[in-house]
Amino acid sequence: MRAYHGRQLLASLLMLAAAAAAHATVAFDDLDINVVLQADGSARFTEVWTVDHDLDSGSELFRRRDVNGTQRISDFGVTENGREYHLVNPWNVDAPVKAGRCGMIENNNFVELCWGVGSAGRHVYTISYTVTSLVRPYLNDRALINYVFCDAGNMPPRNARITISRADSAFTKDDVLHLSVNEGNAHGEFYKGKFILTAPRPMAAEEHLSMRIELPITAFAELDAGAFDMGVTASEMASPMMTDSRAGTYEMSWQARLYDFYGEWPVLSLLLAIGAVWLMFFVIKKVAIALA
């Protein structure tokens, strides 16, 4: 009788698990954003989204980008497994077929970058676009980047990493006049000529990742201060969101160093991991023999 009730309980748990899986929400496992700054102050964004869909998770995904009067977003594209999505502008949210297609919805203060979802399961999307005037001159001799690179919105990523570099050459420590990140779930560092912003834990819906960077204006050869009639306001210069100052802090945390090392040397990292496991078992075996 106990065995029968045990089997009944197990069957019920399996049915509940299956039902929960069937109605699961979208799982945004990983977001990796690579930002390459150009000499004119524009930036090329390449974002890799690792997402698990279910059958009821909707027919499209989108990335919202806020823009000000001087900024524009262009050259939007989406690829998956080497296949380039067909660009449809303006994007129609009510289109009967969205799979394999992408497009933009433009408003006065923001742009939505949209693409269709074709099937349930795990997908890795690569989206790319250009943002003009990401770098702005101020105080006559400085260039400012003050930007929200990841806004969790209604689908927060479990892991997020933003890497900011320069197209023509790497930044140096002397270039970094100020570096700070938003309060809360954010960690920013300068390492090997790049700025790296990470979320050390899964993001909540209301959280974001933003970074404020001040550089010499000479770091951007084609940045024309006279072309910007929209200066940086006093509130932006003393933003309460940017109080976790990292100015002068250029040492990377061991977690970020490990992530960076694995990204550059995946095969060596795997061999080192195998070696560490083998060494652990070897030591355990020796200790067991000694205690026997």
132's enclosing H/E stretch is: none
The 3-state DSSP class for residue 20 equals helix
Is residue 14 assigned to a domain? no
Say if residue 223 is in the same domain as residue 292: no
Return the structure tokens found at 145: 């980047």
Say if residue 178 is in the same domain as residue 285: no
Is residue 7 assigned to a domain? no
Q: pLDDT tens, 13-61?
A: 444 443 333 333 478 899 999 999 999 999 999 999 999 988 676 789 9
Say if residue 210 is in the same domain as residue 289: no
pTM > 0.85: yes or no: no
Say if residue 129 is in the same domain as residue 244: yes
Say if residue 260 is in the same domain as residue 244: no
pLDDT at 81 over 90: yes
Q: pLDDT tens, 167-217?
A: 989 999 999 999 998 867 788 999 999 999 998 788 877 788 899 999 999
How many structural domains compose the chain? 2
Say if residue 232 is in the same domain as residue 90: yes
- The pair phi, psi for residue 38, each rounded to 5°, is -100, 165
Say if residue 69 is in the same domain as residue 156: yes
Domain limits at 286? 253-292
Q: What DSSP letter does each residue of 206-240 carry, written as one string? A: T-EEEEEEEEEGGGSTT--GGG--S---HHHHT-T
